[in-house]
Amino acid sequence: MTTSSLLEQRVIARIEREGPLSFAEYMRMVLYDPENGYYTAGLPRIGWSGDYFTSGDLGSFFAHCLGRQLYQMWEELGRPQPFRVWEQGAGRGELEQEVRASLQEERPEFAAALSYRSLDLQRGEDALSGETLQQLRQQEGEPQVILANELVDAFPVHLVEVHQGQLYEIYVDVDKGRLQAIAAAPSTPAVVGYLDRYCPRWRSFPDGWRAEINLAALRWVELQASLLRRGFLLVIDYGDRASQLYHRSRLRGTLLCYYQHRINEQPLMRPGEQDITAHVNFSALIDEGRRHGLRRRLFTTQRAWLERMGIFEELEGLRRTHFAAADQERASDRGQIALLRWYNLRQQVLALTDPAGLGNFKVLIMRR
């Protein structure tokens, strides 16, 4: 039996026992089920052979910029030794390797102080588990930086829909042995309170208007704030301010599923075999951070952040040092090869900074 049908049967059995599941609970099951969940079953998901790729799959520029950002933070905090960085939702830990490699070359003194810890649910390190993280903090010491690239978008979200000025929540139910979405009263007042706060005009929005409510992201920020005594929280993800995200023209919200590099909007299909994500409401992260003692330091696009961290200078520098043949000997084989390699690198930078793609991701830095 496939993962998908095994998990589907489990979901169906649970619904038959307990009644309809909130979409958030369904998402938690299909992404995090200990045996067959999308993130927990241990199959390769990221990269060219998986379901999607992330900034780290596009060469080393992203890691180099992150390394420079961490160096600035280290300096600002007075060069603590060791300097502990926790990356949460780190996947295969490739970003860590790239950051380490580049720093060893560029800034050996900092590389020696850096203690970089990659954490991921796939290794039982749940970013939403206070117990796990507090224990780690006790054993290894407090982190100065907590960072997450494309983690918060994976947290389970509640789905809500407006009908005639009323708010409904989407649940997953079973009909004739198949999963189906139904609308009913919100599962918790927190869902309505959240929407009232971040989208006060929802009552006048058109029928069928949908949005995602990421209550887990609030818990996550609170937990990270409790781990940081003095330091930074750095979040990179797709998403926006609430005013953009919860706009009346965005009729169907931002929930998307990824399966083998194709996007679909059918989260009840292939449970456990496809990723389900929603854009991050950065206004909520900023507010929640503030509530727990973190001040916003920077909120910008990935493009602007990479620019600040010198991505274009790095590219230009490489052109001069490694690809001079592309200019000086263009007619030769050597020149042609240099030119092609150079185009390849330039393409990586263009993809990372593309205003219609990764460049429009958001970067949030908060400080305590």
The Cα 232–Cα 144 span in angstroms is 6
Q: Left if phi > 0, otherwise alpha if psi is -120 to 50, otherwise beta: which for 90?
A: alpha
**Residue 191 lies near ligand SAM (rule: CB under 6 A):** no
Closer residue to ligand SAM in complex, CB, 91/272: 91
Closer residue to ligand SAM in complex, CB, 47/310: 47
**Residue 157 lies near ligand SAM (rule: CB under 6 A):** no
Closer residue to ligand SAM in complex, CB, 118/186: 118
Contact string 76-115 vs ligand SAM (x = CB under 6 A): ------------xxxx------------------------
**Residue 353 lies near ligand SAM (rule: CB under 6 A):** no
The Cα 64–Cα 100 span in angstroms is 9
> 239-240 and 178-184 as β-strands: parallel, antiparallel, unpaired?
unpaired
Nearest residue to ligand SAM by CB is: 89
- Pull the structure tokens for residue 103: 């720093």
**Centroid of chain to Cα 279:** 9
**Residue 154 lies near ligand SAM (rule: CB under 6 A):** yes
The Cα 8–Cα 13 span in angstroms is 9
Q: How far is the CB of 327 from ligand SAM (least distance, A)?
A: 34
The Cα 98–Cα 100 span in angstroms is 5
Whole-angstrom CA distances from 92 to 84, 115, 123, 191, 206 are 19, 17, 10, 33, 42
The Cα 246–Cα 46 span in angstroms is 28
Q: How far is the CB of 340 from ligand SAM (least distance, A)?
A: 27
- # binding residues, ligand SAM (CB under 6 A): 19
Contact string 45-64 vs ligand SAM (x = CB under 6 A): -x-------x-x--------
Longest CA pairwise span in the chain (Å): 73
Q: How far is the CB of 36 from ligand SAM (least distance, A)?
A: 14
Contact string 110-149 vs ligand SAM (x = CB under 6 A): ----------xxx--xxxx--------------------x
Given the rule CB under 6 A, which residues bind ligand SAM? 39, 46, 54, 56, 88-91, 120-122, 125-128, 149-151, 154
